[in-house]
Structure 1
């Protein structure tokens, strides 16, 4: 009996659970580039090109390994346009009555497969360190689901950076060493870049023709598109950037889009790399004396800490998580998130970088574009859809908790104990963006005042009832209360002016 084995675009792993359950002698692998997946948000052209190119090469690899593979290209005239449509089409052609699939990491696709006209047997996605059951067992009965406690559980489970039952170096977390402001220069040329081949060129032509109007620059295209290239990108980072990654991981520097960041999350999230090989390489560098513990711990925490925790939150909270709006924010996403046309240099640089690279690092996402959206009261669902569309590493399971929870506080505090808001001083400390900005970060009121300064205090004032008793925010309310009443009035007036300009569509 023939069974279909579904492999999705973010499941490009030879050790996929559905492949392990299949019979290579009789079952047929189904892979498909479909319009539904390419357009449910207006994905960045680089992301679409990366996934299509990587999918095509993975299909070739499976065939070389002895699998029967049926691969549907986007421009195939028989393409039905959806995953379930392709399953039905191939099932009819082959006489298959069952589909084996690894559970998708998105509620939308899980629902589609559960409703598929061809029965689908879902197997757990065990490429992750923590299963749904393990995360739920950890979360059960806790008043607060703080990542740090979950991260320590994962450290003990893996043995990474452990000395017996104790953390290596005597500390679990070296974050206090990882907050240095931007240096004057960076002695790293950025992530490894790969030349396109004939297969990639064909994808680029297709994406250019079909998605040329999407936000984002397609060329130059330099991403890795197979496992071997992704491993080269990892080795390049471990050797040349990891030693200084920790020190400057929160820094931002005009004219340098990557600093010492790895830019491998898109490879990990698509399945070309595993958490084991990434974390193992980082730990090996520390044990060999090639990278300091603060850099290695901070890097590993992002993977077995934040990444696993985000997935746990996403599945625990359920399909309605992306619609949460605890603060009642309803302002439309400003047009400059797509155009970059704003006088706020930090926002302009983050948007321009996102447009060109389909990438921005975590502080640019959290404390620039995310911070502004939260301060301005932007509808969190619109913010969520923007992040999902524009980044090459964005999939809903990891993007939504980071945006709805951590960035926009729309989940009411499940992910964060406080909203991640700041005035312009934080951005000024961690970057050089403010030096040539049209606004003055030192100016607190008036026409030239940094909008972050004005909106920060207005946000606190607007949400006082919710946050004034929060121990981590009480000090800021005391500062606000000590301000002269006239100055407070000027701040609120200035913030109202910024928001009015946003609402009118004027340049800000």
Structure 2
């Protein structure tokens, strides 16, 4: 046989570069479910079930397209448990002349693949992942002569490259970014919220769910609410549902949070983009077409496109440029253990209970819940950023290290010292109160600054600024809160810091009791 083509679990596209130019009659596609990939962190049960079911359905799709697929299931008694082990077994079965694979998304997997050319006698070719607009080399070229790597300027380059929302050489509407229009709280009263499609598990998915329930019973999360799309066709249905019903209001309310409403106007498409079931540029072009046809406003479409060709491409570039030691950065020297309620949702802080509770149920929370609720709280208490990173990687179905790590360690926890974000995303309870209805039913009072009944975010916010003043005090984007802090009466400062200290002591005592 001429060619062996390993397809990884996040490469579920028939247009993946490793298949480009291959003769289906002269190659074998190898797909592998391996324990190494399900257990290198303790992934949410629904995340594992989504990936394994999507892989099995993709193998069937490739077979329908004429490819020969050798599929190794997790419960195969001869399964070696690793990518390299399964490629070695396939090499013994087929004796290929060549192994062709698309570059992986993570440093950890890249280290494995880079050993294959010395491990196997077959020629090994690792191809660029053409699902992305910007290669690693192109991002490095863009970044090489810049003092600051701000996403906004990278995003403009991607707009020019694709022509998305462009009017000649100028941005549609005269502005590149309409984010200021995209910060509205959800309207009060009766909410007319669109509903994402909830997909009923088919026989293949039910088998996978049973496997995951048995093999990963001690992993966090629930399988009871599993409703992910697991095929290209289902992902396309969810895409059309979003574009038809949610995109028109997505911009206005993308930062809003509402109790017991986990999805709101969000697309729920990131797991399918990151696994390969949807093409990101095609999705952006369809969103643009809705604007051109007058079916969605510019602020919604621009905000959605920015997340995909701007932020998603940008964080991938940062991940690969900074190297495998990026994960160890800890600019603020934060060392506190992440509280146990991140794995249970059992807390009196209603905002955290909501964000974590829906995460455990659905393996999903939208970006503001991640950044400004679970992320901000971890930042304010001084949680170890590596622990925070591992938690995010575990709990979300769309979390692969290339996209999750820069978002968590860089943007959310400021552990890279401002490489990715220009300021820490620290906030008091007033932000949560403004953007959600969470505070109205919380046992803590968001209007109170200190004391046992005060919203913990309030004192923690000022304590965070005070204890990190040496490193953050000159940050221009924090100039206003630091001026406010300096103008406070000494007694008010002492009361805020004492209130924060008591809360943190209780957190630490709870951790010791566990």
- Taking structure 2 as the reference length, the TM-score comes to 0.97
Paired position in structure 2 for 1:112: 112
Match of 1:290 among 281, 289, 295: 295
Secondary structure of 2:499 counterpart: helix
Paired position in structure 2 for 1:404: 409
| 2:371 matches 1:381 | no
| 2:193 matches 1:166 | no
Match of 1:467 among 462, 468, 472: 472
Q: How far off is 1:65 after superposition?
A: 1.4
Match of 2:160 among 133, 136, 156: 156
> Following the alignment from structure 1 to structure 2, what is the Cα–Cα distance between the partners of residues 59 and 340?
36
1:231-277 Cα deviation digits (max 9, x unpaired): 11000000001000000000000021111000000000000001122
Paired position in structure 2 for 1:281: 286
| 2:11 matches 1:7 | no
Paired position in structure 2 for 1:225: 230
Report runs of 4+ in structure 1 exceeding 3 Å deviation.
none
**TM alignment of 1:86-235, pairs within 5 A:** 86-116=86-116, 117-118=119-120, 120-184=124-188, 185-235=190-240
> Following the alignment from structure 2 to structure 1, what is the Cα–Cα distance between the partners of residues 298 and 132?
24
Paired position in structure 2 for 1:49: 49
1:288-340 Cα deviation digits (max 9, x unpaired): 10000000000000000000000000000011111111111111111010011
> Following the alignment from structure 1 to structure 2, what is the Cα–Cα distance between the partners of residues 277 and 502?
46
Secondary structure of 2:24 counterpart: coil
Paired position in structure 2 for 1:258: 263
Q: Is the 8 A contact 2:281 2:309 kept in 1?
A: no
> Following the alignment from structure 2 to structure 1, what is the Cα–Cα distance between the partners of residues 420 and 281?
25
Paired position in structure 1 for 2:313: 308
Q: Is the 8 A contact 1:43 1:388 kept in 2?
A: yes
Q: How far off is 1:26 after superposition?
A: 1.5
| 2:76 matches 1:71 | no
> Following the alignment from structure 2 to structure 1, what is the Cα–Cα distance between the partners of residues 194 and 180?
26
Secondary structure of 1:473 counterpart: helix
Match of 1:497 among 474, 479, 502: 502
> Following the alignment from structure 1 to structure 2, what is the Cα–Cα distance between the partners of residues 309 and 448?
41
Secondary structure of 2:101 counterpart: strand
Paired position in structure 2 for 1:22: 22
Q: Is the 8 A contact 1:354 1:391 kept in 2?
A: yes
Structure 1 unmatched runs, 5+? none
| 2:337 matches 1:337 | no
Worse overlay, 57-66 or 360-369: 57-66
Q: Is the 8 A contact 2:225 2:362 kept in 1?
A: no
**TM alignment of 1:407-426, pairs within 5 A:** 407-426=412-431
Worse overlay, 88-97 or 400-409: 88-97
Paired position in structure 2 for 1:248: 253
Q: Is the 8 A contact 1:5 1:22 kept in 2?
A: no
Q: How far off is 1:182 after superposition?
A: 2.1
> Following the alignment from structure 1 to structure 2, what is the Cα–Cα distance between the partners of residues 359 and 496?
32
> Following the alignment from structure 1 to structure 2, what is the Cα–Cα distance between the partners of residues 187 and 73?
43
> Following the alignment from structure 2 to structure 1, what is the Cα–Cα distance between the partners of residues 37 and 424?
32
> Following the alignment from structure 2 to structure 1, what is the Cα–Cα distance between the partners of residues 45 and 505?
33
> Following the alignment from structure 2 to structure 1, what is the Cα–Cα distance between the partners of residues 366 and 285?
22
Secondary structure of 1:200 counterpart: helix
Paired position in structure 1 for 2:325: 320
> Following the alignment from structure 1 to structure 2, what is the Cα–Cα distance between the partners of residues 492 and 222?
45
Q: How far off is 1:97 after superposition?
A: 4.9
Paired position in structure 1 for 2:304: 299
> Following the alignment from structure 1 to structure 2, what is the Cα–Cα distance between the partners of residues 168 and 159?
10
> Following the alignment from structure 2 to structure 1, what is the Cα–Cα distance between the partners of residues 298 and 105?
32
Paired position in structure 2 for 1:390: 395
1:104-137 Cα deviation digits (max 9, x unpaired): 0100000011123236321000100111111111
Structure 2 unmatched runs, 5+? none
Secondary structure of 2:224 counterpart: coil
1:322-368 Cα deviation digits (max 9, x unpaired): 11111111111110100111111101110001001100000000000
> Following the alignment from structure 1 to structure 2, what is the Cα–Cα distance between the partners of residues 176 and 366?
17
Q: How far off is 1:405 after superposition?
A: 0.4
Q: How far off is 1:203 after superposition?
A: 0.9
Q: Is the 8 A contact 1:186 1:259 kept in 2?
A: no
Worse overlay, 185-194 or 459-468: 185-194
Paired position in structure 1 for 2:482: 477
Q: How far off is 1:190 after superposition?
A: 2.3
> Following the alignment from structure 2 to structure 1, what is the Cα–Cα distance between the partners of residues 163 and 114?
37
> Following the alignment from structure 2 to structure 1, what is the Cα–Cα distance between the partners of residues 372 and 365?
11
Secondary structure of 1:325 counterpart: coil
Secondary structure of 1:439 counterpart: coil
CA RMSD of aligned residues (A): 1.2
Q: How far off is 1:21 after superposition?
A: 4.4
